[in-house]
Structure 1
Amino acid sequence: MSFPPELHPQMVEALRRSAEISASLGTPEPGVAGVRRHAERGRAYWNEGGPELDVAREDRVPGPLRDIPVMVYRARESSRPQPVFVYLHGGGFRIGSHRSNDRQMREIAAAWGGTVVSADYVHVPEHTFPAPVEETTALLRWLHEHGADWGIDGGRIACGGASAGANVSFGAAVGLGRVAWLQAAVGIVGAFSGDTGTESMRRWGDGNVYPDRAGVPGTFEAYVPPPAQRNDPRVALLEADPALLPPTFLAAAACDVFLDASVRLARRLEDAGRLHALKVYPGMSHLFFGYSRSVDGAAECARDIAAFLSQRLPV
């Protein structure tokens, strides 16, 4: 397996290790459920270690389609209501869960001091747009209205996610329409556009770096099957009114097909006065954030998110 020379050696080693782990698990069981179980087992190694917290528990939030699975993280118990960061995992709108980035969530919670809620959302092919966005919107509203039951300050909420999760999370923020209690957003290697004609798509999408450009259109078509819905601002985020988003931190990977999408969104956010910062992590590829066990750039990203949250939502 060969990789572009621009990739950081730690990133290369992590991708090789991830491929070895996947191969050691054997062929996934048939169907999308088997693929999801295989991917979840593959994440176990990368979630080992990291900070130990006072609170790291699984729970559920009532939603429009089901009770939404979440993980709740808090570095230490507190008698005061805490601000909350609601995170959505990546996985091409198809795989992943509220446990996928367990270590990274613990790292953010420990460095920031607030509460982190890592949430699942309904997936393709069982559910397509706008169901994931509507479920996430319901989750955010529930935390605003009932977060006090969990020691959360419902007036100080941040949302965000990685890759597809960033798309869904930002879509929910756009749909909410600039409510006062949604005070920050975080997009990590956001899949903000399926445009395959960008420079980053051409440069990084035709080699050995995931994802490949050829698969991007199918991913978005599966998420939003009716062409008429693909201009909905809750999914066409580069066309949405950037003023509907709260102050935003964007983390992009230098060696990623979606780099230009983050750059373009950052420009729109900056023009609207909603950009906190865009940081491009050199030598990193898509979903690098999940490799903080061994990749310094990923651990740095977790610290940067915690620093942003500390500034916008101090504990």
Structure 2
Amino acid sequence: MSGEFNLIDKYLVGRQSRRKDVLLAAGDDCALVKSPSNVSIAVSTDTLVAGTHFLESANPSWVAHKALASNISDLAAMGATPAWVSFALTMPEPKEEWLAPFCDSFFKLADYFGIQLIGGDTTKGPLSLTLTVQGFVPEDQALRRSGAKIGDWIYVTGDLGDSKAGLDVILDDTLREKEGASILESRHYLSSPRVLVGQALLNTASSAIDISDGLISDLNHILQRSGVGASIDVSLLPISQELREFTQNEELAQQYALTSGEEYELCFTVPEENKGAIESVLNHTGTKVTCIGQIRPEGTLELHSNGTIVDWQLSGYDHFKVKQ
């Protein structure tokens, strides 16, 4: 038996209980699955490459969490329920001391969200991970980027900016002595996909997106697809105490919140008539939600602080520019 199949059998096969909708997960050329009736299947694929998305020396447990969580977040942004994942792993050479904690973390998160691994591949090459997740969303109810309307309110989940600060720590060891640095580093890797929030918003929100490239970039995707503009009050941005202590500057913390990539929080819009229901709709999710602005007529994304325009030249996270 080749090294590839030894790795697959030892670390990736037989780790989970079989979902009822999985007819065949391993042992043949394809997996076989059965989808429920009256649903659409949401599909998302992401690749994480060592040196771009994580350091080769990074904790493999954290890398596994980041890889799967980032894909689950795409499903959450459309209100989908996660179901299946396939996984392609490329490694320079088999390293069991890396694979063991990686797979333990991967399956822990997969089991938490009820996701079954149904196939994939292993091959030799530079370290990279490619995952494809699939989930279910009721027909014609998926949240999209194109539904925002003038007057809708703009919300975000969680706190913003921590992932960027954590990346700063990863790239610059001199920052490790700063207050909250270790917490921020862990938050860069250990996001919490907002699946319950996305599901709860299916009949309440008008549009949604997950924050992977920075709020200022991802909100612009909604504006472009919906043909609208927006006004954001930067003083309302949700910022953690750790980020405030790390930056020691409120404006800088706000700029982090606007540009931080790989947050995997949700940004969504809510019509005026549904605004009063948000708290009750999301109460069971236990997730912090903050209203930060409003959709305006077609135009630019305006930033202000308590009504005073701020002229910050900001751009979001660029995977081709940031190297770890």
Report 1 or 2 for greater relative contact order, CA contacts < 8 Å, sequence distance ≥ 6: 2
The higher radius of gyration belongs to 2
TM-score by length of 1: 0.29
Q: What TM-score do you get using the length of structure 2 for normalisation?
A: 0.28
More helix by share: 1
The structure in which a higher percent of residues are strand is: 2
